[in-house]
A and B are shown apart, each in its own frame.
Chain A
Amino acid sequence: MNGDANGGNGTPAPVVFSNARIVDPARDLDTKGTVIIADGVIQAAGPDVDGKDAPAGAVITDCGGKVVAPGLIDMRVFVGEPGHEHRETLRSASKAAAVGGVTTIITMPDTEPVIDEPALVDYVLRRARDTAIVRVHPAAALTKGLEGTAMTEIGMLKEAGAVAFTDGRHCIANARVMQRLMTYANEFGALVMHHPQDANLSDGGVMNMGETASRLGLMGVPLEAEIIMLERDLRLAAMTGAAYHAAQISCGESAEIVRAAKAKGHNVTAGVSINHLTLNENDIGPYRTFFKMSPPLRLEDDRRAMVEAVRDGIIDVIVSSHDPQDVETKRHPFAEAADGAIGLETLLPAALRLVHSEDVPLMTVLRAMTSRPAQLLGLDTGTLKPGAPADVIVFDPDTPWVLAKEDIVSRSKNSPFEDARFQGRVLRTLVAGRTVHPYSG
């Protein structure tokens, strides 16, 4: 289902969630109350809402104090469609998303073919409309073929429905190319998302550079590969005035740089993957390839710095960086395995670890996955404000559970959280008022 479609057969019955803990970061609202949904839209959500005001035929659910929140928006999702459908299709990704409480996914253009043409944006939107059960908004490529040389038709791609522009996993090495495309993107108010990692400094590196890499005999990726590129990007953002989003940062120094750029009033934001908030390089242990990712997992100090940056609002967005890889790409010696981990299903449960450890308030964690990405992308979702599309999740923040491999919904199973213990689980997911995930466990 794409951004506008309401899909499916007939209109779902109105829904009332009573006795809920409503958390709506867009309104700084954390309160007991009631949510009324009808016609695919939030009718009311707040402490003084009376379920009796719901339209006739409403299905009333007593939430028993469970959390009702806006559906999550995941700004960094790799899907195998088109080109690598055996890893993940739009449909399978959307099912995994629904299970994880993610109601909007932003798909990366790293497909075959690369999403660098208006017709291909249209293709993704049509496939999503016909096959996906959550909202899908494509991000289009910044450079043709992700080659880092020629800018794409940012104006026409945006008209076709691309909500952001990125070269996905690729880093644009040429500063002049980056400067020109940021200048050009700014004409259209287009968001430039970039993976800041210098390809020369990181060349050959397969994990964080340092003691662990040296012990394991693996080549390292230095922090500077990220820091230098991020500094370059932030200076170009200041020079061009473009809206710039660092797709993922991974170390404390990067957070400091972003903090400074924001303090100067530049139009820059940053994201972090859930992996870099909850895991560190020690998790790689005996060469476990599901923990191989880009940027690499860093030290515990860096992880803590990322958590603090989320708490302080320096990091704006938490993403799953969902990157399905199959045995063909992951069952290799560590250095030869592909980067990437799936994460749609575990995004919220893993993020709740930060809440349970009392490092970050629930409101802040949810904001980084709802209203903040909606703001950056110009979406009307990510909130429970009356009139907003009824993308809603119900979750129990406390239920303990263990992720079993056989329960993974995603077509690829490369989860770094296999057999991990979580506390908190999504019970129900609604997209445009329609239930797309009724938890049955």
Chain B
Amino acid sequence: MTAHTNDNAASFPHRHLLGIEGLQPSEILTLLDLADQAVEVSRQVEKKKAVLRGRTQINLFFEASTRTQSSFELAGKRLGADVMNMSVASSSVKKGETLIDTAATLNAMHPDLLVVRHHAAGAVKLLADKVGCSVVNAGDGAHEHPTQALLDALTMRRHKGQIAGLTVAICGDIRHSRVARSNFLLLNALGARVRVVAPRTLLPASVDRLGVDVYTDMRTGLKDVDIVMMLRLQRERMSGAFVPSVREYFRYWGLDAEKLSYAKDDALVMHPGPMNRGVEIDPEIADGPRSLIREQVEMGVAVRMAVLEALAAHLPNN
């Protein structure tokens, strides 16, 4: 046990990271500070740390995700863990009982860290209750995706100095977005003002009770904001069920230079990826100078290193 992990044990007293909900602002800042250090590590030629040497990390993805899974894989490896990826085709997995069976099976292999993504809200918590190791939520249904919110916050903080006082507009498919929900919690905890901008069909019921200001028009919603965060709209949701078509969605809710001009002059653009250019965002903006989208990917690895490192202090036998 090193002095380093001892500090973390005190400033991040959690065995799992299941969501932003339940984290104190100071704990979030601890993770962001750790992530800042991880950015430096990742930019060195020698990217390895030994915090997780000898530990086993299993990435258990019931829902395919190249970017999040590889980000967690890299993060684990840079901290010295042995990382194994398990992709479970969700179609072949029966819900409920099988999830618990899977947990029991995995538990018997004595992993130290389990990184889990599941299509059902609450599934990661259910699994965490059944295993003896630390669990990181890599996204559960439309509930939470805490490491995404953390990497978003890290990106913002590195550009704007602090989160407190920022106005952040989260735009698009809020209804189905775990990224949005985790961001509401984190940004509110750190003192930012959060807006959502979307047609009502893409907003969850009573969204105004979730600590956000609600707009349905992009121009008024983006007025004087510091950060514009665009969300992905899945193809199957833009053919008439929630919005009528791609072209109509882009016309009224897609981010282009004209709509972005309502934001502050130094406003920055984010997107959790993967992007649909020409659907929710104009390529000119996505690939333009105000876009932080690439940088978010880099911050993703750093934040996941920070989370794994913070949890390392609570691993069994530590």
Q: A152-B244, A153-B245, A155-B252 are in contact. Are A184 and B200 (CB under 8 A)?
A: yes
Cβ contact within 8 Å between B242 and A180:
yes
Q: Any chain A CB within 8 A of the CB of B199?
A: yes
**B236 CB to nearest chain A CB (Å):** 11
Chain B facing A: main interface SS: loop
Which of chain B's residues 237-267 have a Cβ closer than 8 Å to chain A? 239-245, 247-248, 251-252
Q: A155-B251, A156-B251 are in contact. Are A180 and B244 (CB under 8 A)?
A: no
Q: Any chain A CB within 8 A of the CB of B201?
A: yes
Q: A155-B248, A180-B201 are in contact. Are A150 and B216 (CB under 8 A)?
A: no
State in angstroms the CA–CA spacing of A189 and B245 once bound together: 19
Cβ contact within 8 Å between B240 and A187:
no
Q: Any chain B CB within 8 A of the CB of A364?
A: no
Interchain CB contact (< 8 A) of A183 among B200, B247, B248: B200
Cβ contact within 8 Å between A151 and B240:
yes
Q: A155-B251, A156-B251 are in contact. Are A187 and B244 (CB under 8 A)?
A: no
Interchain CB contact (< 8 A) of B241 among A150, A152, A153, A154: A150
Interchain CB contact (< 8 A) of A150 among B240, B247, B251: B240
Q: Quick one: which of B242, B244, B245, B248 has the most chain A CB within 10 A? A: B244
**B174 CB to nearest chain A CB (Å):** 14
Which of chain A's residues 137-181 have a Cβ closer than 8 Å to chain B? 143-144, 149-156, 177, 180
Q: With a CB–CB cut-off of 8 A, which chain B residues contact A240?
A: 200
Q: Any chain B CB within 8 A of the CB of A412?
A: no
Q: With a CB–CB cut-off of 8 A, which chain B residues contact A184?
A: 199-201, 242-244
Q: With a CB–CB cut-off of 8 A, which chain B residues contact A149?
A: 240
Cβ contact within 8 Å between B200 and A187:
yes
Q: Any chain B CB within 8 A of the CB of A186?
A: yes
Interchain CB contact (< 8 A) of A153 among B200, B242, B248: B248
State in angstroms the CA–CA spacing of A154 and B245 once bound together: 10
Q: With a CB–CB cut-off of 8 A, which chain A residues contact B251?
A: 155-156
Which of chain A's residues 258-313 have a Cβ closer than 8 Å to chain B? none
Q: A155-B252, A156-B251, A187-B216 are in contact. Are A150 and B244 (CB under 8 A)?
A: yes
Cβ contact within 8 Å between A180 and B241:
yes
Question: Nearest CB to that of B216 among chain A residues?
Answer: A187
Cβ contact within 8 Å between A143 and B240:
yes
Q: With a CB–CB cut-off of 8 A, which chain B residues contact A187?
A: 199-200, 216, 252
Q: Quick one: which of A156, A184, A186, A240 has the most chain B CB within 10 A? A: A184
Cβ contact within 8 Å between B201 and A153:
no
**A419 CB to nearest chain B CB (Å):** 47
Cβ contact within 8 Å between B244 and A153:
yes
Question: Nearest CB to that of A241 among chain B residues?
Answer: B200
State in angstroms the CA–CA spacing of A187 and B199 once bound together: 7
- Counting chain B residues whose Cβ lies within 8 A of the other chain, the interface size class is 10 to 19
What's the tally of chain A residues with a CB closer than 8 Å to chain B?
Answer: 17
State in angstroms the CA–CA spacing of A153 and B249 once bound together: 9
Cβ contact within 8 Å between A186 and B247:
no
**A235 CB to nearest chain B CB (Å):** 15
State in angstroms the CA–CA spacing of A129 and B62 once bound together: 58
Q: With a CB–CB cut-off of 8 A, which chain A residues contact B247?
A: 153, 156
Question: Nearest CB to that of A188 among chain B residues?
Answer: B252
Contact with B along A339-359 (1 / 0, CB 8 A): 000000000000000000000
State in angstroms the CA–CA spacing of A45 and B252 once bound together: 42
State in angstroms the CA–CA spacing of A152 and B243 once bound together: 8
Interchain CB contact (< 8 A) of A151 among B200, B216, B244, B252: B244
Which of chain B's residues 214-249 have a Cβ closer than 8 Å to chain A? 216, 239-245, 247-248
Q: With a CB–CB cut-off of 8 A, which chain B residues contact A150?
A: 239-241, 244
Q: A153-B248, A155-B252, A156-B248 are in contact. Are A186 and B200 (CB under 8 A)?
A: yes
State in angstroms the CA–CA spacing of A187 and B201 once bound together: 9
Question: Nearest CB to that of A159 among chain B residues?
Answer: B251
**A35 CB to nearest chain B CB (Å):** 42
**A204 CB to nearest chain B CB (Å):** 29
Q: With a CB–CB cut-off of 8 A, which chain B residues contact A177?
A: 241
Contact with A along B189-220 (1 / 0, CB 8 A): 00000000001110000000000000010000
Q: A153-B245, A153-B248 are in contact. Are A144 and B199 (CB under 8 A)?
A: no
State in angstroms the CA–CA spacing of A240 and B247 once bound together: 24
State in angstroms the CA–CA spacing of A177 and B239 once bound together: 12
Interchain CB contact (< 8 A) of A144 among B201, B216, B240, B252: B240
State in angstroms the CA–CA spacing of A246 and B240 once bound together: 23
Q: With a CB–CB cut-off of 8 A, which chain B residues contact A183?
A: 199-201
Question: Nearest CB to that of A242 among chain B residues?
Answer: B200
Q: With a CB–CB cut-off of 8 A, which chain A residues contact B239?
A: 150
State in angstroms the CA–CA spacing of A111 and B211 once bound together: 47
State in angstroms the CA–CA spacing of A358 and B228 once bound together: 63
**A315 CB to nearest chain B CB (Å):** 29
Which of chain A's residues 179-223 have a Cβ closer than 8 Å to chain B? 180, 183-184, 186-187
Question: Nearest CB to that of B205 among chain A residues?
Answer: A239
Cβ contact within 8 Å between B216 and A154:
no
State in angstroms the CA–CA spacing of A152 and B240 once bound together: 7
**B208 CB to nearest chain A CB (Å):** 14
Question: Nearest CB to that of B248 among chain A residues?
Answer: A153
Which of chain A's residues 111-157 have a Cβ closer than 8 Å to chain B? 143-144, 149-156
State in angstroms the CA–CA spacing of A144 and B243 once bound together: 12
Q: With a CB–CB cut-off of 8 A, which chain B residues contact A152?
A: 240, 244
Question: Nearest CB to that of A154 among chain B residues?
Answer: B244
Question: Nearest CB to that of B242 among chain A residues?
Answer: A180
Q: With a CB–CB cut-off of 8 A, which chain B residues contact A151?
A: 240-241, 243-244
State in angstroms the CA–CA spacing of A150 and B239 once bound together: 7
Q: With a CB–CB cut-off of 8 A, which chain A residues contact B245?
A: 153
**B197 CB to nearest chain A CB (Å):** 12
Question: Nearest CB to that of B198 among chain A residues?
Answer: A187
Question: Nearest CB to that of A150 among chain B residues?
Answer: B240
Question: Nearest CB to that of B203 among chain A residues?
Answer: A183
**B155 CB to nearest chain A CB (Å):** 31
State in angstroms the CA–CA spacing of A36 and B200 once bound together: 47
Q: With a CB–CB cut-off of 8 A, which chain A residues contact B243?
A: 151, 184
Chain A residues near B (Cβ < 8 Å): 143-144, 149-156, 177, 180, 183-184, 186-187, 240
Chain B residues near A (Cβ < 8 Å): 199-201, 216, 239-245, 247-248, 251-252
For the complex of A and B, 7 pairs with smallest distance between CB atoms: A150-B240, A153-B248, A153-B244, A183-B200, A151-B244, A184-B201, A151-B240
Give 8 CB contacts A-B under 8 Å.
A144-B244, A151-B241, A153-B244, A154-B244, A184-B200, A184-B201, A187-B200, A187-B216
Given contacts A156-B248, A187-B216, 10 further A-B contacts (CB under 8 A): A150-B239, A152-B244, A153-B244, A155-B251, A155-B252, A183-B200, A183-B201, A184-B200, A187-B200, A187-B252
